[in-house]
Structure 1
Amino acid sequence: MQHNIPTISIFIEPKHLEVLESDVWNEEPLPAKLVADHIPYEVGITYRGDHIRNFLKKSYRIDFGTFNGKFAGREIHLNAEYCDPSFIRNKLSFDFFQTIGSHSPDCKHVFIELNGEPMGIYLQLESVDEWFLQKRKLPYGPIFYATEYLANFSLLTPEHNPKTSLLSGYVRKLGEDEDDLDLEVLIYKINTISRKDFGEEITKYLDVKKYLLWLCGVVCTQNYDGFIHNYALYRNGEDGLFQMIPWDYDATWGRDWDGEIMEYNYVPIEGYNTLTARLLDVKEYRDQYRLLLEEILETSFTTAALEPKITNLYRQIRPYITLDPYKKMSIDLFDNERESILRFISDRNSYLQEHLKDLK
């Protein structure tokens, strides 16, 4: 068969594989060998994710450790995309964010073999880390992962209870202990700057233009969870301003995190979370957001712009569906999902166009 997507082979000794499978929440990398493009690498491997660790088809985090030449110190993620019948929602989302001018991880589809056995189609994702910054020539600065729904930029939990810490919901991926204070200051300022002064004062802590671009992306793709987690927060080391970077966008384009249909009008045009609400309360920023979104709805977020990309991804990965032991019986669902995504884009675009007036 003509291979259009690369194959990655992973080899784990039986004793280490037993440890991996016996405790899906183990975070300590286990030794393994990874072969890509005929080049072997000694790596560490663990499962990744939250609720997805309980799925039959696991997702993996690969740590290249201190060796392996140019890959030393790097990590990649191999996402099973188990609840997405199309396998393309994550990649389509990250490519879309890049199209509209917002930073997002690079990714590509691969076929995984584990100890010689096919594991199926995966999405290989770069980690949002020091190498992510270097690749984009971004200044070094701390990075925080929003790993829990508590990362809502509020002093209160979504249940309206006081948070035990301003850092609730975040894990520092890059930086030092003292960098935590900058994130605490950001969240404190978001919640305490007066309404009169907010528009001017917030620019000392946040790159507002980049946040509004991110907001356009999450509102178009309709990642309901993307407002309170499923993002990385990066503080630029030169200007000191925070930026948003999307993460885990398989629950998008008309599906939720369980793979169920999510209606096109589920997330309002204003989005939600405390920071978004406060920014859109400032007329200048609300107008900026409306103009940015209006342009995106006319150019990037249309069936005309996205259909060729969707069709190309489908052609690329369809031959591998029947080789995926976890998804080979779902070929009909896979085939029908292309039209489902295109219908969502059309309906979501019309919905957002109709509600642009709500931003005036």
Structure 2
Amino acid sequence: MKNQSNMPLYQLFVHPKDLRELKKDIWDDDPVPAVMKVNQKRLDIDIAYRGSHIRDFKKKSYHISFYQPKTFRGAREIHLNAEYKDPSMMRNKLSLDFFSELGTLSPKAEFVFLKVNGKNEGVYLELESVDEFYLAKRKLADGAVFYAVDDDANFSLMSDLERETKTSLEHGYEKKTGTEEDDFYLQDMIFKINTVPKAQFKSEVTKHMDIDKYLRWLAGIVFTSNYDGFVHNYALYRNSETGLFEVIPWDYDATWGRDIHGERMAADYVRIQGFNTLTARILDEPDFRRSYKHLLEETLQSLFTIEYMKPKIMAMYEQIRPFVLMDPYKKNDIERFDREPDVICEYIIKRADYLKSELDLLS
């Protein structure tokens, strides 16, 4: 199916017994076997539900691992996101593309139309997994990848969840790829950025973190207003050649003027200085703060403008609209979907005004 516009068709075939097993406990991460067909190509896969609170939604999101062949288009696994709470279904892709343009590593995101056992499941966002295959595709140096799986990935010695000192500095992270030595590098970075005196902080932090990339990631969160993004919704990649960590965004549907419940979010909801311990210490350094301010000013002139963003928003909207009409979970809400480009554009205007008014705080 590539009629009306360009959207690949993914067909999943799950044995009724396995489908029952999958639906029996939505919180069970154990996958069931299935077959996926893409452009006449047959793939044996394992499939499981993905996400935390999103598993409760009527339209499920899926984690797919390739079994036979072991990889497909250079990936071992993909994520199919339902984007159920975002009435535009575009915010996640809009964000990840925006990060890419800001010069941050970011997963590739593409819309696909999903059928399960012949039944329309609707429009999904295929998200690339951040792992060794992700690095290889981009010809990046080998290195460790850690997923921030909960709010303890806050770059702090204190637990956000327990409100006390962490018993392990790896709390909040799950290693996707890497060695035991990489665990030590992560612990060492978190320990140092929290304990080094102010006078030594600048020279110390540059041994652990790629500051330019960190500021670009921070700017991405601040422009898109992903409140969770500072302590969650990211992956850490340690480049083995530079020895430095970079931050990669992940799951950015609660952005561009809507929160995780799909409700309207005020344009000043996320402050210009961002959050988390590392951000506070980095922006406490005048040189870093100047670089950050300059990056924001530049982006407010170029990428984060209606002139630049609206054509992207409208192209995405026009690409997926015919398929939203075939999405059993979204087609009855088409009027709301049709209003969303205006909601996003209004957010950009108000957010830009707010950020311009706050720039002096970084002087």
TM-score (norm: length of structure 2): 0.97
CA distance in 1, matches of 2:226, 2:46: 31
CA distance in 2, matches of 1:304, 1:71: 34
Q: List per-residue Cα deviations over 1:279-326 (Å, max 9, x = no partner).
A: 000001000100011101110011110000000001001111121111
CA distance in 2, matches of 1:198, 1:177: 26
Q: Displacement of 1:77 after TM fit?
A: 0.5
Q: List per-residue Cα deviations over 1:177-228 (Å, max 9, x = no partner).
A: 3321111111101100111110111111110110001011010000000001
Which residue in the other structure is 2:33 paired with?
31
SS in 2 for 1:108: strand
Give the one of 87, 100, 103 matched to 1:101: 103
1:6 aligned to 2:17?
no
- Give the letter for the 1:241 counterpart: L
1:1-360 correspondence to structure 2 within 5 Å = 2-65=4-67, 67-68=69-70, 71=73, 74-158=76-160, 160-360=163-363
CA distance in 1, matches of 2:227, 2:4: 38
CA distance in 2, matches of 1:70, 1:350: 44
SS in 1 for 2:241: coil
Indicate how the Cα distance of structure 1 residues 155 and 66 shifts in structure 2: closer, same or farther if over 3 A, else same: farther
Q: Displacement of 1:5 after TM fit?
A: 0.8
CA distance in 1, matches of 2:280, 2:226: 17
Among the aligned pairs, what percent are the same residue? 51
RMSD: 1.2
CA distance in 2, matches of 1:204, 1:116: 53
Aligned residues of 1:64 and 1:72 also touching (Cα < 8 A): no
- Give the letter for the 1:44 counterpart: D
CA distance in 2, matches of 1:95, 1:71: 20
SS in 2 for 1:4: coil
Q: List per-residue Cα deviations over 1:151-186 (Å, max 9, x = no partner).
A: 111111236322222111111111123321111111
Q: List per-residue Cα deviations over 1:65-111 (Å, max 9, x = no partner).
A: 36256557610000000000000000000110111111101111111
CA distance in 1, matches of 2:128, 2:267: 29
- Give the letter for the 2:119 counterpart: E
CA distance in 1, matches of 2:305, 2:149: 31
Show structure 1 runs of 4+ deviating over 4 A: 68-73
SS in 1 for 2:36: strand
CA distance in 2, matches of 1:289, 1:73: 34
Q: Displacement of 1:136 after TM fit?
A: 1.2
Q: Displacement of 1:255 after TM fit?
A: 0.7
Aligned residues of 2:45 and 2:68 also touching (Cα < 8 A): no
CA distance in 2, matches of 1:69, 1:44: 12
How many pairs are equivalent?
360
SS in 2 for 1:216: helix
TM-score (norm: length of structure 1): 0.98
Aligned residues of 1:218 and 1:226 also touching (Cα < 8 A): yes
SS in 2 for 1:264: coil
- Give the letter for the 2:188 counterpart: V
Aligned residues of 2:71 and 2:77 also touching (Cα < 8 A): no
Q: Displacement of 1:135 after TM fit?
A: 1.3
CA distance in 2, matches of 1:230, 1:352: 23
Q: Displacement of 1:3 after TM fit?
A: 4.4
- Give the letter for the 1:9 counterpart: Q
Aligned residues of 1:29 and 1:44 also touching (Cα < 8 A): yes
Q: In structure 1, list runs of 5 or more residues that go unmatched.
A: none
